[in-house]
Structure 1
Amino acid sequence: MTIDWLLAAEEGGLGLDFNILETNLINLVIIIGVLYYFGGKFLGNTLSTRQSAIKTEIAEAEQRKQAAAAALAEQQQKLAQAQEEAKRILADAQTTAERSREAILAQANTDVERMRATAAQDMSSQEARVMRELQQRIAALAVERSEAALPGHLNDDLQRRLVDSSIALLKGE
């Protein structure tokens, strides 16, 4: 049966053509036509769907980019505010520290002056106390020596004159 079919092809009927160059070109044209006719709609729909998905993803990426840029700007603004606040706090702390330092120095100077005054007063009172003690001691020693030396030098006439002059001194004459 195969041979009959091949012979029929030579006589103008239907048969197989073994010329590879002619048959490949015709087969290729037929396949491209079938793919174009049946695959054009499918491929067009697939490409259209893919194009829409890509456009949607690009739009979402742009929105995320804008949101990220807005968030970055907001965070940079907050950072700048925080830095300004830190500078203000540092300046306030330095001012407070300087005031405290000056107040401590003033208090220390006041305390030193008060201590000096107290020391000077203590020294004056100690000096006066020591002077009184010395005067009392000198007076006691003078009286003691006078009492020791007086009995040998004192006679009745001298004793009377001494009593008279003491009485005169007491009267204010």
Structure 2
Amino acid sequence: MTSSLLFASEGFGLNLNVFETNIINLAVVIFGLYKFLPNFLGGMLERRRSAILSDLKDAEDRLDEASTALSQAKEELSSAEQKATKIRNDGKTRAEAIRLETEKRTVEEMARIKQGAASDLNAEASRVTAQLRREAARLAIEKALATLPAKLDERAQTNFLNQSIKNMSKD
């Protein structure tokens, strides 16, 4: 064994015995790795590379779709905000128109009620006036009838009755 070690006395030696050092086995293993590993490992790396590229492509596609969806959602939000503002403004305008219409109807109804009250008051005043006239005429007639016999003698009463009958027959 000492013959196969070179420079063994210096601390580092090189063993040139092929069977002891297992160089042939190492050469066979290295050759096998060199021959078969690139195909096996290369195929695995290529498949992994393809999977990563496919995942990146899918991620980019999803990002594009998400960006498009985000843009569309922003447009829809803007449109919805515009519609909401328009609806709010239309509602305020409609509420103001309803309020004005209600006020107008209230004023008209109050005027109609006031007119009705004035009309009722005038009608009642006319009725009371007519009743007072009838009562005054009745009292005047009663007083005249009460005082007339004392003032008229027999001949004047006969003339008065004849005159009244003539006046009635002419009509």
Q: Same fold (TM over 0.5)?
A: yes
Greater shift after overlay, 30-39 or 102-111? Answer: 30-39
1:35 and 2:29 matched: yes
Superposition map of 1:102-121 within 5 A:
102-121=96-115
Q: How far off is 1:30 after superposition?
A: 2.5
Equivalent position to 1:75, from 69, 77, 80: 69
How far apart are the structure 2 equivalents of 1:25 and 1:71?
66
Q: Which residue of 1 aligns with 2:57?
A: 63
Structure 2 unaligned segments of length 5 or more: list them: 1-16, 157-171
**TM-score, normalised with respect to structure 2:** 0.71
The 2-side partners of 1:89 and 1:24 are apart by 91
The correspondence for 1:26, drawn from 8, 21, 39, is 21
Give, in angstroms, the shift of residue 105 of structure 1.
0.9
User: In the aligned structure 2, how far is the partner of 1:101 from the partner of 1:24?
Assistant: 107
Could you give the per-residue CA deviations for residues 40-93 of structure 1, whole angstroms, max 9, x where no partner exists? 211111111112112211211221121111111111111111211121111011
Gaps of 5+ in 1: 1-21, 160-173
Q: 1:44 aligns with which of 29, 38, 41?
A: 38
CA distance in 2, matches of 1:138, 1:40: 141
d(CA) in 2 for partners of 1:25, 1:129: 146
Pair 1:25–1:70, CA change in 2 (3 A): farther
- 2:21 is matched by which residue type in structure 1? I
Cα offset for 1:25?
Answer: 5.0
User: What number of residue pairs does the alignment pair up?
Assistant: 137
Q: In structure 1, how many angstroms separate the alpha carbons of the residues matched to 2:26 and 2:83?
A: 78
